[in-house]
Chains A and B, each alone.
Chain A
Amino acid sequence: MRIRTLTALAAAVVLTVAAAGCNRGSDSDSASGKGGGPPIVVGSTLSLTGAFAATGQIHKLAGEEYVDRLNAAGGLLGRKVEWKVLDDQSDQAKVAQLYERLITQDKVDLLIGPYATPNILSAMAVAQRHGYVLPQHTAVLAPQLTYDCQFPAWSIGPTPNKFIPDQLFDALDSLPTPPKKIAVVTSQSGSAAFVTDGFGDDKTGVLTIAKDRGLDVVANVHYPPTTTDWAPIATQVRDADPDLIISNGLGVDAVNLVQAMKQLNYTPKKMFALFPAPGPLLALGAPADGILSVSMFEPNKPILDKLGAKATEITTDFTKRAKEAKLPYTTFETQAAASWNAWDILAAGVTESGGTDQRKMCASLHDKGADTTFSGHLKFDPKDHNFWPTTQTLKQIQDGDWVTVWPKNKAAAPLK
């Protein structure tokens, strides 16, 4: 009796799956190119579930918005663009497998990268094998990205481990009382640790640069990404009494650290967070005021005005879509801008080379670069692994929002 109920349930599940698959099948059949030829299919994976899903969603929305706008403006080379995005579940093995499928089975015309450095590296290997151009949004450790036809949408230059500390310290030097004692708190993760410890044989990082500049590192703590108890770290930082806390971490690490310090009744004088999830820090309220971070783009009015009406439209539309998707943080900022750049690069490759031939696209991108809405004209030099001269800025939480504050010529408000 029980077995029969279970099997009935199972049958129901199977049928539902079948029905859904049916749906899916008919969907891909109905993709018709209205004039101009068959649609151009762009394939990629994104982490829509799993550890990286929190940010993966942003890239999905940004990509969808881009494709819609592109098609509304006539598509690419007069053809409609379709984006086939699959969920890689934040699993590297699946990334490799799915990209192989997109290329060999679904025979997509173009590729765009997934989210998160490990996944991007796995995808890059596949793209390289098949000779596809791969614009990717967020892998910034230039030495790792060895494929010629990989094009970064977010660049911190060829040596990000040098650029970031330099930029930060330069900015802080412009203050009336620059910090002298610093505490460095680092997540042992590939996407963050390089800023502190350098990468491979290149040991340049916050620690060495601070020493070179005569700053005193009063605390140096490394923590595993799985940390749940922040009190010990906060206690160490508090007791070191630094002028500046550098939190080289991801996601909500900075939030947890600030919270733990607040619980100890300690307010940091100045704090920098490397790649925080932007929303949760804002939700922390007053204790998060003044925190600095790196940015590629913030939709601050002065900046938008400089970029033009199109940029403003894009950011507003994104916010609308994000609200519909029930995202808690709906601002179009660095991550979305990186996504936008990647699509701009892809589109530029197609239009400049006049087609979807991967080799021609790669060559043309190297020769002519790409025009992007939010980062201007990008030049790709294979010597630097295509990492264009960075336009990175620093942002700061002021009055409950992220504002670009450095360098001065790009700032929307002064650094506090």
Chain B
Amino acid sequence: MTAGVRGAVVLLVVLFGLLALGVFGPDLDFPSFYLVLLGTVFFWIAQTSSWNLLSGYAGYFSFGQAAYVGVGAYCTAVLTGRHGVSFYWTVPLAAVLCGLLALGIGAVAFRLGSLRGEIFALLTLAVPFILSAFARINGDIDGGQGTIVPPPEAPGDMDFQQFQYLLALIVAALAVGVSYLVQHSRAGSALTAIHDDEDVAEVLGVPTFRYKILAIVAGGMLGGVAGSVYALQIGFVTVESVFGLTIPLFVIVMAVLGGRGHWLGPVLGAVLIVVLQDRLSSYGLDSWNAIFLGAILAILVAAAPAGLYARLKARPWVALIAFVVVCGVLAIVNLWGEELDWILAGLLAAAAAAIVLGTRRKPVPVPQQAAPEPAVSTVEDEPDDVPPVGDVVVECRNVAKHFGGVRALEDVSLDIRTGELIGLIGPNGSGKTTLVNLLSGTFRPTQGEIRVGGRDITRLAPHQIAHVGVARTYQIPKPFASMTVRDNVATAIMFGREPMSLRAARPLAEEHLATVSLDHLADSYPASLNLHQRQLLETARAIASGPKVLLLDEALAGLNPAELDNAVRVVRRIHRSGITIVIVEHLLRVLNQVCTRIVVLDRGTKLADGEPRTVMSDPDVVRAYLGRQAHV
């Protein structure tokens, strides 16, 4: 059983257990207070899990969770309180309203503004303020006076606590379920890719806008539904109680504390903080409550910056033993506190144990071979045949790119035919990388048009251009840091021209890794790779999407001679497999060996274009590189 399936099984077991507790608990004399406490835990689990979808997985921190809680709560409050609508209708309505709100925020932030990081966070911060002002102004909503939420009839002969509990449980289960499903689906990989490097993901073929909208809308809807149920819990909805900053701040605290990249993280965080607050408040240490809470919060975040889940996962047995031991000892000794205290103490002990012991990292399997890989040399004798040159696959017509006053490219026209291996050279600032950026869609040309395979790509989004068949690498490799080497390549395949699941993509990824001779490092993380290996990873990822044209942006920079030879072999191998290559380089000796054609750019214009030998001896080219006084 994979970790994913194991997780699902545990989740379902826990869910059924909790359901049973809710349905049969009171009959078995289970203290109803625990149902209420669990209800609170479920509310926070729902909020943190829904927040985690966009902010945890994709890294777009949102400060506006209060917006969804507020809209959901007000939807229920106003409709049931003032218009007598049945509670059950207000829940889906809340979901719809919040979904629309999230859609609006997403459309504005992602499409209109292309806002990232802290700017996005600040935008989401502004939303609850606007909504609360709106609620206050609008007499139909409540004009600031607050609305009573009449409790609905509990079905059957359930008492109210049970009813609340089950409602909250269902919503929380929904949120966690969605969280889990997203994580284990293509959406999850896409969001992780977006988190690590959104631009790279987009260029690789991930439709980033679509997935971000998906995440924000799903998160919004879940938050709204949870807000709806929350209105029942508090019984009286005011602007301050639902649009305040406390909820979003604590949502962030819990989710980050628990670990934001995994569906289990927010659950852990919510449980810990809610139980902690409950215990602190019951000790009657009113003037110390907040001090303890703040201190524990600060300490835990500082000690486990990636979240508790990561620590617990690294040391599961340690944590479990610590929990059981502490809990058990306290229970047996029974001198202090009650069950919840013991559980809390156990949780804290487990966290502490995992953190302290987890810092001793298991030695990562360092690739035994140092720089010159003997593995590579086994494929020395490769046939030297060059594939035939075919039809035009990329056409640039009068392409220009201006950045304000800077004319990076001016009137460049270029035809690239299938089977070619073109070297793109020129002094620094001549516009080589800009041209690559235009071809891959990172920028749009200011003038002119570009066609790939007959299609005009000037209006297409980068991920669409990727699907048309253009792939590129970056000068400084940008792997997805939180995925393994294999998954890095698998992501490119998953979002390539033929969509497929991660499981299906992995074996194909291994094949591509073999092409660049990196298959022995498939399970490592990019952080443990050296520069050359990272460049090979870049290349493997680029070819994994099955492109027609591969743009290599200074893929040979910084390599020692042995690595250089290896890289050249890889480039040749890729070329032979039928991919047209454009390689931006400075190393003329390599280009001479490998290229079928050389294009020279100088200060944004095409200076020369033709056979390597001819171009190299062109006096204009020499002058451009070496200056006017040079002779060759």
Contacts and interface: CB of A to CB of B under 8 A. Distances in A.
* Touching chains A and B, CB distance < 8 Å: yes
Interface of A: 3-4, 6-7, 9-11, 13-14, 16-18, 20-22, 24-25, 27, 48-49, 51, 86-89, 91-98, 100-101, 104-105, 117-118, 121-122, 124-125, 129, 144, 187-190, 193-194, 197, 199, 222, 224-225
Contact of B352 (A11, A92, A124, A188): A11
A25 B40 CA distance: 24
Contacts of B335: 22
Interface in B246-303: 246, 278-286, 288-290, 292, 295-296, 299-300, 302-303
Contacts of A11: 352
B118 interface: no
A224 B234 contact: no
Could you say which of A96, A144, A194 has the most chain B C-beta atoms within 10 Å of its C-beta?
A96
A205 B348 CA distance: 54
Contacts of A88: 281
A101 B36 contact: yes
Given A13-B299, A20-B288, A188 B236 contact: no
Contact of A118 (B33, B238, B282): B238
A100 B349 CA distance: 29
B145 A92 contact: no
A190 B238 contact: yes
Which interface class (under 10, 10 to 19, 20 to 34, 35 or more) fits B? 35 or more
Nearest to A144: B148
A23 to B, nearest CB: 8
B285 A199 contact: no
A193 B160 CA distance: 32
Nearest to B151: A125
A93 B352 contact: no
B146 A118 contact: yes
Given A13-B295, A105-B33, A93 B290 contact: no
B336 A96 contact: no
28 contacts: A10-B299, A10-B300, A10-B303, A13-B296, A17-B283, A21-B279, A21-B337, A24-B283, A24-B284, A51-B240, A92-B236, A97-B36, A97-B37, A97-B40, A98-B281, A100-B161, A101-B33, A104-B31, A117-B146, A118-B234, A118-B236, A118-B240, A121-B235, A122-B236, A188-B144, A189-B144, A193-B144, A197-B139
Contacts of A100: 32-33, 36, 161
B563 interface: no
Nearest to A187: B144
B233 interface: yes
A132 B124 CA distance: 43
Given A49-B290, A87-B289, A189-B144, A101 B282 contact: yes
Given A49-B289, A129-B160, A197-B143, A86 B148 contact: no
B37 A3 contact: no
Given A10-B296, A97-B40, A193-B144, A104 B32 contact: yes
B352 A48 contact: no
Contacts of B299: 6, 9-10, 13
B371 to A, nearest CB: 33
B135 to A, nearest CB: 9
B63 interface: no
Contacts of A222: 144
Contacts of B159: 129
Contacts of A194: 145
Given A190-B238, A193-B145, A25 B286 contact: no
A122 B348 CA distance: 32
Given A49-B290, A105-B33, A93 B233 contact: yes
A94 B241 CA distance: 11
B130 interface: no
A272 to B, nearest CB: 20
A93 to B, nearest CB: 5
B356 interface: yes
A365 B43 CA distance: 38
A24 B284 CA distance: 7
Nearest to A26: B336
A73 to B, nearest CB: 25
Contacts of A24: 282-285
Most buried by A among B281, B341, B359: B281
Contacts of A121: 148, 235-236
B69 to A, nearest CB: 11
A190 B144 contact: yes
Given A4-B356, A21-B283, A121-B236, 11 more contacts: A17-B292, A20-B283, A21-B341, A101-B33, A121-B235, A122-B234, A129-B161, A188-B144, A190-B146, A193-B145, A224-B133
